[in-house]
Structure 1
C-alpha cells in the first residue's frame, strides 16, 4: 500500500460534511489490497463535543489540523503528560504456547468461506485481510515510534473511523469467531497481523515468520497523537494538506503514505515518486523495500469505487450500521461489485488471488493512460505499446498514479525491472520488507513470542549476548567513586571546593545514553552503549560525552568483562548515590553493540519550539510520568558541560549534591530571556549574577501541572528524591526486555 493513515474525518468540520467530502475527495482513502467499554464511552463523549464545536472551525481551513481553537476533549496524553495507555490483560504464557499453525489453518478456511453479509472478492478474503494488516501496521512512524499494530487500536476510534479504514470493520467481524475461539492466547493485534500473514501464504506468497506478543490497548488514546487532534497539532502540525512534512508519516491527511491519485490529487507520476520515497523513509523503508511492498501488496485484490457517491456514514457517525455503501440497489447494495472503499476501481493483475510478479510485468508491458474511473477519480488503464488500433482489447486491469510513478524514477524503475524478471528476488525482498512492516513497532527480538519467530533482523537492533562472566560490580563502583574526584587528562571536570568533580558529568553521560529510549516502539536506551558511535555521539546534546567516556576508560580496562553499557549506567548511578540520592538501583548484564552496525537504529532526541510540549511529549515517549520527568529536570547539572553546550552557565556551581534546591531557585526567582555568547537562548535570574536556566526549565514553572509538582518538591525533599529515584531507575532498565511485558531486572 502507498498511504500512511491519519484521521482527517475526526476534524469536527468534517463531521458535518463527511458524506459530501468523501464523494468529492474519495482519493483520500487508501487502495484496499493493502491496505466496547468505558473507554469507548469516554471517546464518544469527545466525539459529541467535537460535533458541537463545528461552528468554531474556519470555513477556509486548508489543513484538517487547523482548528478554530484548542478543544480540551481532544487532549489525549500530551497536555496531561501521563502515560495513560490502558492495556488489556496479557497472558504471556498462553501467547507463547499458542498453536500458530492451528490458527493459520482456521484463518485459511475462513478466507474461502464467502459470506452473503460481505461477499469475498474473487471468492477469497485474503486481500481484505492483507489490507487490514497493512493499515494496522502502516500507521508506524519512526520520528517518535508511534503507530503500528501493537495495541490493536484499529478496533477503536479514532482509527476505526478513519477514511483509510473504510469497511475494515467487516474484516474484523469475520475474524471474531477465531478471536473468540483462542481467547487471551490470541490478542487482536497478533490476530490482525497473523491474518495478513496467513492470507499471503494462502495465495502462494512468501512469509519470513511471525513475532507474537502484541499487547492490546483498552481504548484508542495512544492513537490520538497521530492526529488530527490538539495533541497532534502541538507535536506535528500540517500547514498544507497534501504536503505534510515529517514527523507526520503521510503527505496527505487520512492516507497511508501518499495520495494514490498524485500530489494534491493531480495525476502526475513524476511528482509522485519523490513523495513516495520521502514518506516510506519516514517509516525507515529503503527503495528496495518500498518497491517490493508496493508491488507485492498490489499482487493481491482490487480497489473499490463502484460509483462516485461514497461508502456512507463512518462508525463514529453511525455505529449501528457503519459504511453501509451507497452504490447499487437491493440486497447487494454497497457490497460485492457495488462496493465503495477508496473511490478507485479495479485489480492490478489478472489473477488477484495468486502470488506472482505480474504486477511488475504489467507495468512494463503496457503504456498507461490516465482517465476518470467509475468512482470519480483519476486512475490509469493499459494501452498496448506500438498499437495502431486504440480499440484493441487489453487486460482488465488498472494502475494508480503511485504505481505508474515507479516507472518515472530511475532507482524504482531498475527495481521494477528486477522484480519483473526475477521472482526469487521479489520473494526475498517482499518477505523481509513485510516482516519489517508488521514488526517494526515491536522493538527488539527479545520481545517476540512463539515458535514462528525468525532470527533477529537488522531493524530490531540485535545485540550480542553479554559476557558470560559478570565483573565485580562492587569493585567497579569503588573505582568509579575514586574517579569522581580525580583529575583526568581526558576532560577537565567541574570544580567543587577547589577540587575536580566528575559526578555531574557521569550522571549526564548515563542520562544521554538512556534517555533516547522510547516506550512507543521499545527502541533506544543504553543497552548497547551506542552513544560511543556516530551518529549518536555527534548529536548536539552529546557534545563531549565521548570525552567523559574517556575519563572512565581506565576503569573499563581494569575489568575485561565489564561492558561499556554497564559502566556508563553504573557511573551515573554511583555519582547520584554519592550526591545523596535515595535508593538508586543498578542491574548489570548489558552488552555492547557492534561498532559497524548499520543502519543506526535510533533517532535523535526531538527538539520543539514549544518547550512545554518538548518536556511533556518526551516524557510520554520515554514512558515517564510528568512527576518523574519534572524530578529528572533537577538531576545533577554540570556547569562546565552547560558551557560546552553553548550556555553561559548553570543554576548552581555546586553540582555535587542532589537536592530540591533546583526547584527553590526556579520558583523563587524571576527570569528574563537572554542569549549566550554562543547564541543559545537561555533564561537569566533577574538581579542575580551567574544563575542561568534553560527554556525547558522554565516550562516547568509556566505549566500549572508541572508547577504544582515543582512546588511540592520545593517544600518536600523526601517526595522529590523518591520521584527522582523512581524515574531514574525506570529509565535505566527500560530497555532490558524479557518478553513483551517482562523486564530482566524486575
Structure 2
C-alpha cells in the first residue's frame, strides 16, 4: 500500500514544518549567516497591496468622529472584560505605553510606530498581559474606520484619548504610523531562553546598570522597563532607581521626563494581582485555537474585575484612579510605606496607616475601600535624591508637572516616528522639538549643473566624494527614521569627530564643498550628495557607461542648536562593511554587523550586494584599505569584485591578523587581500547567488544600473518630503 495514502493511516502533511514549533531547514547549520533580517516585512506579506497609500487614506479620515468614538469607549464597560470603576482609561494608557515603551535609542528598534504589539513576541510578553483585551476592545472601532486608521495609530491614539478623558491637557497627536504584517522575529530582545529570567546575564554587573548589554533597554526578558518588585524581584528602591535611570535613558528620556512619566503613568489605573497567576491560561501565542488569540484567561473563578491577575501586584496608586491629578504625589509623599505581599505573592509597598477617605474604591463596588500600593519604581522616586527633588518641583507647581508629563507622553509615543515631515493630522504641534531632529527647508531653485561643475573643479578625488556622501547618508535608521544625509549633520558634533568618518579627511573635503554651497545657494547637504553622485558618474564612465545619477534637491542644513548631540552617539557606526570599517572586535561577526546596517538602511540582500561590490571597485574603503578591492581598475564601477571573487583560479587563505589572502592556485602569488565581509559574498549560498549574477559577462550594464538605483535609495532614505 502507498505510504502516503490517507486511507492507509498516514497523514500526508509534514508535521511541524508549518508551525512555530517546527524546525527551519537552516537549523541544520546553526552557524550559517542568517539573511532573514533583510527580508522582514516583504511586500508579499502585506494584504493591502502595492497601490495602497496610508497617507492618502488618512486624508479621508474623520478625525473628530474617531476621537469621539474613543472617548465613548473609555466609559462603555464590556461584560466580557469589565472596566475598572467603569472606565478603560487605565487599560488604554497601558496599551499605548507598552506599545511605545519598547523603543530603544541604541538601534531605534521597538516602539509603537508599526503596530508590532499585535504579533509575537510582544503580544505575549509577560509585561503585556491583557493588552490583548485592549486591542479586542478597540476592534469595533478599527473595523468601522478600516483602512483609514492603522492599528499602530489607533493604539497610540487610544492612550492619548484616555489621558484626555482623565483630565489631562494633552500636547498633541500625529497620525502616520503604518502597520507591519508579521512578527519582527529578527529584532534582538535578549539571549535568555525563558521569560523574566534573572537579569544578571544582561549585565557585566547588576550593581552597575550602565553595563547592561546593548542595544537592550529593559532589565529582563519580557519587561518593558524594570521589574516593579525590585531588582530581580528583590525590593530596594535605590537600586531600582539606578535601573530606572538607565533604562529610561536608553529610551531617550532624562530624569525629569522619567519622573513625570512615572508619576503621570501611575496617576490613573491600577495593578492587578488579586488571584493566583498559576490558574491563567497560556499567553496569546501559545493558547489553543479555541481562545482565538486571547491569552492569560483565568481557568478558575471569575478572573475579571476585582479578580483580575496581571502583574501580580494588587491595588491602585491614588484615591481617584480615573482622574489625572496630583493624587500620586499626595499618596506617595503623604504616607509612610512598608513592604507587604499581594494576594498573588508579589512584593509591593503599602501605607503604614491611611484614612479610609484617602483609599481607592473597589473596581466593582464603590462602597468597598481598598488599600493603595506603590511599586519599587514608585518608591525610587521618593528615595532617590535627584528624583525626589524633581518631584518636589512638580508638587510645588502642578501646572508645570502637567505640561512636563504631556510633553513626555508625546515624546514617548512619537519618538520612533522620525521627523515632523512624517506627521499627519489636525493635532500636530507647531513647536519644533529638538528630539525630532529638526531640519530647515532647503532651496530647490539653484542651478544643479553649475553646482556639479564647481564640484568637478574642486580637485576632490572620486573616493573622497563617494565616501563622504556615503558616510553622511549611512547614519539613516529605518527603525526610527533618524539620521541620513538631510541636515548635513556630518559637519557637526558629534558626527564630524566619529572615527568611522575619518575626521581629518572629512574636514578637508568639507573645506572644499562648503564654499560651493555658500556661492550657489545650495545646502551643504545637497552639495555632499551631489559630489557623491558625480563620483559615481565618473566611475561609471571609467567602466564604459554614461549614466546620470538621479538627484532631488531640497535638503536643508541643521545647526548645532537644532541637534541633540548626545542622542546622536547611538548612531555612530561601530562597523560599516560597505567601507570595510570595523572599530573593534565584537562577539557579533563582521558580516552580521553588515546585515544589521543594511537592514536599518532598508536594503534588500541584492541591494546590499551590489552596493558593496561597487564600493570595493571604486576603492572607497576606510583609510584607503585594499581589502576586497579585487580589481586592477580601481575607481571604475566594474563588476571585478564579483568576477574575481567567483573565479576558481584563486584560493582563499586566512592569515594571522584575521584577514585573508587571495592567491593564484598555480603560482601561489598573492593577488588580493580580503576581510570576512568580502568573502561572505562567496561563501554564503544566497549571497553567492547574487554575486554570480553580477559576475556574468552579460550583466555589466545591469550592475551599474542596479548600483545607481540602490545608491539613490540610500541617499534619499530620509527624504520624507518627496515621493519614494
For the aligned pair, the TM-score class normalised by the smaller chain equals 0.7 to 0.9
Summarize the Cα distance change of 1:503–1:76 in structure 2 as closer, same or farther, 3 Å threshold.
closer
Q: What is the distance in 1 between the residues matched to 2:318 and 2:381?
A: 16
Cα distance between partner residues in 2 of 1:307 and 1:374: 6
Q: 2:21 aligns with which of 31, 39, 48?
A: 48
Say if 2:494 is the partner of 1:521.
no
C-alpha contact 2:230 2:237 (8 A) present in aligned 1? yes
The DSSP-based 3-state class of the residue aligned with 1:658 is: coil
Q: In 1, are the aligned partners of 2:167 and 2:323 still within 8 Å (CA)?
A: yes
1: distance between equivalents of 2:45 and 2:36?
12
**Cα distance in 1 for residues equivalent to 2:44 and 2:311:** 31
Matched, 1:225 2:187: yes
Residue 720 of structure 1 pairs with residue 703 of structure 2 = yes
Find the counterpart in structure 1 of residue 248 from structure 2. Answer: 280
Q: Given that residues 126 and 203 in structure 1 are in contact (C-alpha distance below 8 angstroms), is that contact kept between their aligned partners in structure 2?
A: yes
Give the Å deviation of 1:384: 4.9
Change (3 A) 1:115 1:556: closer
Of 422, 425, 433, the residue aligned with 1:447 is 422
Superposed displacement of residue 127, structure 1: 0.5
Q: 1:448 to 1:223 in 2, by over 3 A?
A: farther
Name 2:366's counterpart in structure 1: none
CA distance in structure 1 between the partners assigned to 2:304 and 2:34 by the alignment: 36
In structure 2, the CA distance between the partners of 1:280 and 1:328, relative to structure 1 (3 Å rule), is same
Matched-pair contact (CA < 8 Å) for 1:407–1:413:
yes
- Give the counterpart of 1:349 among 304, 310, 318: 318
**Residues 695 and 251 from structure 1, CA distance in 2 versus in 1: closer, same or farther, beyond 3 angstroms?**
same
Q: Residues 316 and 414 of structure 1: is their aligned pair in 2 closer, same or farther, counting only changes over 3 Å? A: same
| Distance in 1 of aligned mates of 2:515 and 2:481 | 32
Task: Find 2:491's aligned residue among 523, 526, 532.
Answer: 532
Deviations 1:277-305 (A, max 9, x none): 11111111111111111110000110101
1:571 match: 531
How far, CA to CA, are the matches of 1:365 and 1:612 in structure 2?
56
The residue that corresponds to 1:702 in the other structure is 683
Q: Counterpart of 1:596 in 2: which secondary structure?
A: helix
In the TM superposition, residue 454 of structure 1 has moved relative to its aligned partner by 0.7
| Highest RCO, 1 vs 2 (Cα 8 Å, sep ≥ 6) | 1
2:438 maps to 1:462: yes
| Partner Cα distance (2:169, 2:636) in 1 | 59
How far did 1:713 drift? Answer: 1.2
Mapped partners of 1:652, 1:675: distance in 2: 23
Q: How does 1:294-305 map to 2 (within 5 A)?
A: 294-305=262-273
| Aligned match of 1:737 | 720
Could you tell me which residue of structure 1 aligns to residue 3 of structure 2? none
Aligned partner of 1:381 in structure 2 is 350
Report how far residue 703 of structure 1 moved.
2.0
Output the CA distance in 2 between the equivalents of 1:350 and 1:562: 59
**Residue among 145, 168, 177 paired with 1:214:** 177
2:155 is the counterpart of 1:185: no
Relative to 1, partners in 2 of residues 1:111 and 1:250: Cα closer, same or farther, differing over 3 Å? same
Shift of 1:594: 1.1
CA distance in 2, matches of 1:250, 1:502: 46
Q: Which residue of 1 aligns with 2:606?
A: 627
Question: Corresponding residue for 2:551?
Answer: 586
Deviation at 1:567, TM superposition (A): 0.4
- Residues in 1 aligned to 2:310 and 2:17: alpha-carbon distance in whole angstroms: 24
SS in 2 for 1:225: coil
Counterpart of 1:546 in structure 2 is: 507
Aligned partners of 1:547, 1:690: CA distance in 2, in Å?
32
Contact 1:379 1:400 in 2 (8 A): yes
Unaligned runs of 5+ in 2: 1-14, 207-211, 355-368, 576-585
Secondary structure of the residue that 2:155 maps to in structure 1?
helix
Q: CA deviation at 1:213?
A: 1.1
Q: Shift of residue 399 of structure 1?
A: 0.7
- Partner residue in 2 for 1:197: 160
In the other structure, the counterpart of 1:148 is 111
Give yes or no for contact 2:274–2:307 (8 Å, CA) kept in 1: yes
**Aligned pair partner of 2:640 in 661, 667, 687:** 661
Q: Residue 397 of structure 1 aligns with which residue?
A: 372
1:618–1:324 Cα change, 3 Å: closer
Equivalent-residue separation in structure 1 for 2:137 and 2:17 (angstroms): 24
Residues 674 and 636 (structure 1 numbering): CA distance in 2 closer, same or farther, change over 3 Å?
same
Displacement after TM superposition at 1:650 (Å): 5.1
Instruction: Give the C-alpha shift of residue 606 in structure 1.
Output: 4.6
Q: Which segment is superposed worse, 304-313 or 89-98? A: 89-98
**Alpha-carbon distance in 2 for matches of 1:82, 1:323:** 25
The 2-side partners of 1:323 and 1:192 are apart by 19
Q: How many residues align?
A: 647
Matched, 1:165 2:119: no
Alpha-carbon distance change, 273 to 442 in structure 1, aligned in 2, over 3 angstroms: same
More displaced, 576-585 or 107-116? 576-585
Cα distance in 1, alignment partners of residues 481 and 461 from structure 2: 31
Residue 498 of structure 1 corresponds to none
Q: In structure 2, do the counterparts of structure 1 residues 125 and 75 end up closer, same or farther at CA, with 3 Å as the change threshold?
A: farther
Q: Is the 8 A contact 2:267 2:317 kept in 1?
A: yes
Q: Distance in 1 between matches of 2:271 and 2:286?
A: 24
**Bigger CA drift: 239-248 or 608-617?**
239-248
Aligned to 1:25: none
Cα distance in 2 for partners of 1:172, 1:96 equals 24
How far the C-alpha of 1:172 sits from its partner, in A, is 1.4
- The 8 Å contact of residues 517 and 734 in structure 1, kept in 2 or not, is answered as yes
Q: Which runs of 5+ in 1 are unaligned?
A: 1-41, 54-66, 386-393, 487-500, 739-743
The alpha carbon displacement at 1:640 in A equals 8.9
Aligned mates of 2:673, 2:501 — CA distance in 1: 20
Q: Please give the alpha-carbon distance, in whole angstroms, between the structure 2 residues aligned to 1:123 and 1:338.
A: 15
Shift of 1:689: 5.4
- For 1:239-388, list aligned pairs within 5 A: 240=201, 245-310=213-278, 311-318=280-287, 319-321=289-291, 322-323=294-295, 325-326=297-298, 329=301, 333-384=302-353
1:34-89 Cα offsets, whole Å, 9 max, x none, are xxxxxxxx999442327x99xxxxxxxxxxxxx999599x9793275786694444
Whole-angstrom distance in 2 between the partners of 1:141 and 1:293: 16
Rounded to whole Å, the distance in 2 between the matches of 1:285 and 1:85 is 37
TM-aligned CA distance change 1:314 to 1:557, over 3 Å: closer
Tell me how far apart the structure 2 counterparts of residues 470 and 340 of structure 1 sit (CA, whole Å): 62
Could you tell me whether the CA contact under 8 Å between 2:464 and 2:509 is conserved in 1?
yes
Q: Which residue of 1 aligns with 2:400?
A: 425
TM-fit CA distance, 1:98: 2.4
Residue 415 of structure 1 and its aligned partner are, at CA, apart by 1.1
Q: Secondary structure at the match of 2:339?
A: strand
Is it true that 1:114 corresponds to 2:74 in the alignment? no
Q: 1:479 to 1:383 in 2, by over 3 A?
A: same
Q: Distance in 2 between matches of 1:621 and 1:181?
A: 34
What is the rounded CA distance, in whole Å, between the counterparts of 1:478 and 1:43 in structure 2? 62
CA distance in 2: counterparts of 1:263 and 1:605, whole angstroms: 32
CA displacement at 1:193 relative to structure 2: 1.0
Alignment of 1:6-85 (within 5 A): 45-49=18-22, 70=30, 77-78=36-37
Counterpart residue number, 1:6: none
Preserved CA contact (<8 Å) 1:77 1:83: no
